[in-house]
């Protein structure tokens, strides 16, 4: 063990989205690459919004992406419990310590009084901040408030003199905050729950976390946390704040709502975990070259937290689609078939029995269909052609198209050549069409268009060489014959 310990501490208040998972990934990468450990801690002190269901989703999606933790909820370890609501007694103990050492005090101000304070500050063009009313209460004053039934919060006592608090950030260098921008912030709420800033410090310190890597949105919390570390005499970890993820309009990526990007949605749409892994790794990091397709191993080897960018990373869905399509085409066919079957069943193109009995055929169909998709939910529309009875979009137009001696000549010649061919690869079919063009006394349109329509029922679609190769001579001949019958 080398004392490199990272943590991923999500709040289970919603389905996990790409932003949070990117944080998990970067922590995982540092842990794995340095032979350290990754701790999965659940920050569930917002009891109204935290659920076990969301916690389970986080665990499931991390597993799907192969981001395994070494310690934490559902795994265990020496520094548990790993759910904050199970650690309240620990936070209380440290809160008492803070009170005793004079680093914290009880504040009895009511919501209304605080609101009054805020309004006054705004009216005077001042930054709203707690004015310290309860900083120096006497014992009697405190007792009087208690007697009124007021429940206190605990506030951190900011040092009187102004001073700079410097965050040494592995990505941003030194970021300086002046204590004058901070007020006596709350560390324990009146409902008996610690605030995020308090609990996170205690946990990171007790869990011996060496590197705190999290989103830039937490950078402004870090000076407060540093003050708590110091007040409790804990050693500081190293900090790194990852750049925000922006949407295509360069606005902050939405966590919830219609344009949100939940990890589960990508899984459900048939994105491959290795593609999402690769894509997320490039949200803020690059190899320094143009390389985009990188394996898990390569990323693990080459990633360096110091190389992460400071500026926002744009979530480019088109790039993700391109990348995922590439991974789909490079993957083992069997795996892609397996993953595509539920989509085909869902679209009512096949049922489970069919999938079992026609595996070989289905493999050929999926292999063809995957050439044109970005994600597997698109497989059914590409495969439909092979899995449904032929249906002409416009039967009358089709009949017209198939009428006439020329079409008959083309179809008969094509059938003959298909049956004479040993192996109907797409290339062989291509050669057959070239021969037809050379040998028959008809124009190219009369060769291609009626053939496509007869075989697929549509005027346009995928490459005919691939389609014919998959259907085989028998099926193609039967479709051509059927077309001629339609014309009669």
Catalytic residue positions, numbered: 255
Q: Measured on CA atoms in the order 245, 249, 254, 257, is the torsion positive or negative? A: negative
E strand spans, 179-322: 186-188, 211-215, 238-242, 245-246, 313-314
Out of 6, 11, 79, 211, the only residue in the binding site for ligand GLU (CB under 6 A) is: 11
Identify which of residues 10 and 380 has a Cβ nearer to ligand GLU in the complex: 10
Task: Determine, following the binding rule CB under 6 A, whether residue 194 of this chain makes contact with ligand GLU.
Answer: no
Task: Determine, following the binding rule CB under 6 A, whether residue 9 of this chain makes contact with ligand GLU.
Answer: yes
Structural contact between residues 260 and 301, judged by C-beta atoms closer than 8 angstroms: no
Identify which of residues 211 and 417 has a Cβ nearer to ligand GLU in the complex: 211
Task: Determine, following the binding rule CB under 6 A, whether residue 214 of this chain makes contact with ligand GLU.
Answer: yes
Structural contact between residues 385 and 467, judged by C-beta atoms closer than 8 angstroms: yes
Q: Kindly determine how many residues on this chain lie close enough to bind ligand GLU according to the rule CB under 6 A.
A: 7
Out of 29, 134, 199, 200, the only residue in the binding site for ligand GLU (CB under 6 A) is: 200
Q: What percent of the residues of the chain are helix, what percent strand, and what percent coil, each to the nearest 5?
A: 55, 10, 35
Q: Which stretch binds ligand GLU (CB under 6 A): 3-11, 176-184, 262-270, 402-410?
A: 3-11
* Helix, coil or strand: residue 90: helix
Identify which of residues 175 and 473 has a Cβ nearer to ligand GLU in the complex: 175
Q: Give Cα 106 distance to the centre of its chain.
A: 41
CB of 237 to ligand GLU, least distance (A): 11
Sole residue written with tokens 């099926």: 475
* Helix, coil or strand: residue 106: strand
CA distance to 198, 211, 338, 341, 360, per residue, from 349 (Å): 55, 50, 15, 10, 16
Task: Determine, following the binding rule CB under 6 A, whether residue 10 of this chain makes contact with ligand GLU.
Answer: yes
Q: Which stretch binds ligand GLU (CB under 6 A): 7-15, 94-102, 158-166, 263-271?
A: 7-15
Q: Which stretch binds ligand GLU (CB under 6 A): 9-17, 75-83, 137-145, 405-413?
A: 9-17
Q: Which DSSP category does 5 fall into?
A: E
Identify which of residues 200 and 205 has a Cβ nearer to ligand GLU in the complex: 200
Task: Determine, following the binding rule CB under 6 A, whether residue 218 of this chain makes contact with ligand GLU.
Answer: yes
- The Cα 52–Cα 289 span in angstroms is 42
Q: Which stretch binds ligand GLU (CB under 6 A): 5-13, 103-111, 155-163, 232-240?
A: 5-13
Task: Determine, following the binding rule CB under 6 A, whether residue 14 of this chain makes contact with ligand GLU.
Answer: no
Q: Which DSSP category does 421 fall into?
A: -
CA distance to 143, 277, 359, 436, per residue, from 423 (Å): 94, 39, 20, 18
Identify which of residues 129 and 218 has a Cβ nearer to ligand GLU in the complex: 218
Task: Determine, following the binding rule CB under 6 A, whether residue 43 of this chain makes contact with ligand GLU.
Answer: yes
CB of 229 to ligand GLU, least distance (A): 13
Identify which of residues 212 and 468 has a Cβ nearer to ligand GLU in the complex: 212
CB of 43 to ligand GLU, least distance (A): 4
Range 296-325, binding ligand GLU (CB under 6 A):
none
Sole residue written with tokens 């060489």: 465
Phi, psi values for residue 6, rounded to 5°? -115, 170
Identify which of residues 216 and 274 has a Cβ nearer to ligand GLU in the complex: 216
Q: Give Cα 187 distance to the centre of its chain.
A: 32
Question: Looking at beta carbons, which residue is closest to ligand GLU?
Answer: 214
Residues that bind ligand GLU (CB under 6 A): 9-11, 43, 200, 214, 218
């Amino acid at each position: 063990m080398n004392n490199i310990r990272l943590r991923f501490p999500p709040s289970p208040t919603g389905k996990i989205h790409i932003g949070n998972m990117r944080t998990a990934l970067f922590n995982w990468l540092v842990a794995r690459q340095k032979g350290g450990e990754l701790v999965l801690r659940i920050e569930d002190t917002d009891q109204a919004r935290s659920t076990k269901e969301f916690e389970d989703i986080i665990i499931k999606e991390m597993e799907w992406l192969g981001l395994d933790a070494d310690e934490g909820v559902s795994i265990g370890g020496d520094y548990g419990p790993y759910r904050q609501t199970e650690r309240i007694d620990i936070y209380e103990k440290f809160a008492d310590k803070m009170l005793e050492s004079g680093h914290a005090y009880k504040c009895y101000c009511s919501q209304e009084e605080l609101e009054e304070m805020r309004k006054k500050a705004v009216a005077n063009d001042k930054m709203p901040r707690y004015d310290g009313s309860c900083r120096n209460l006497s014992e009697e004053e405190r007792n009087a408030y208690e007697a009124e039934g007021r429940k206190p919060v605990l506030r951190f006592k900011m040092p009187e003199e102004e001073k700079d608090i410097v965050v040494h950030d592995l990505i941003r260098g030194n970021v300086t905050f002046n204590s004058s921008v901070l007020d006596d912030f709350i560390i324990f709420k009146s409902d008996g729950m610690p605030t995020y800033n308090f609990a996170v410090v205690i946990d990171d310190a007790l869990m011996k976390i060496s590197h705190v890597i999290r989103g830039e949105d937490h950078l402004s919390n870090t000076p407060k946390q540093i003050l708590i570390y110091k007040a409790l005499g804990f050693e500081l970890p190293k900090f790194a704040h990852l750049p925000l993820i922006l949407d295509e309009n360069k606005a902050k990526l939405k966590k919830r709502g219609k344009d949100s990007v939940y990890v589960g949605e990508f899984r459900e749409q048939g994105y491959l975990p290795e593609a999402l892994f690769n894509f997320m790794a490039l949200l803020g990091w690059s190899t320094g070259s143009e390389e985009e397709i990188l394996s898990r191993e390569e990323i693990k080897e080459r990633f360096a937290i110091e190389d992460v960018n400071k500026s926002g990373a744009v979530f480019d869905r088109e790039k993700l689609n391109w990348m995922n399509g590439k991974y789909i085409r490079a993957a083992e066919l069997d795996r892609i078939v397996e993953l595509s079957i539920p989509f085909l069943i869902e679209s009512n193109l096949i049922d489970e029995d069919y999938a079992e009995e026609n595996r070989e055929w289905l493999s050929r169909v999926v292999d063809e269909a995957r050439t044109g998709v970005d994600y597997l939910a698109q497989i059914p529309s590409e495969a439909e052609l092979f899995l449904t009875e032929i249906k002409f979009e416009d039967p009358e137009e089709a009949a017209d198209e198939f009428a006439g001696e020329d079409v008959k000549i083309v179809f008969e010649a094509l059938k003959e050549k298909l049956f004479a061919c040993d192996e109907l690869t797409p290339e062989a079919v291509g050669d057959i069409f070239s021969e037809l063009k050379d040998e028959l006394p008809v124009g190219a349109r009369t060769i291609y268009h009626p053939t496509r329509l007869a075989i697929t029922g549509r005027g346009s679609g995928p490459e005919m060489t691939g389609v014919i190769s998959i259907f085989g001579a028998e099926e193609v001949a039967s479709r051509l014959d059927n077309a001629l019958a339609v014309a009669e």
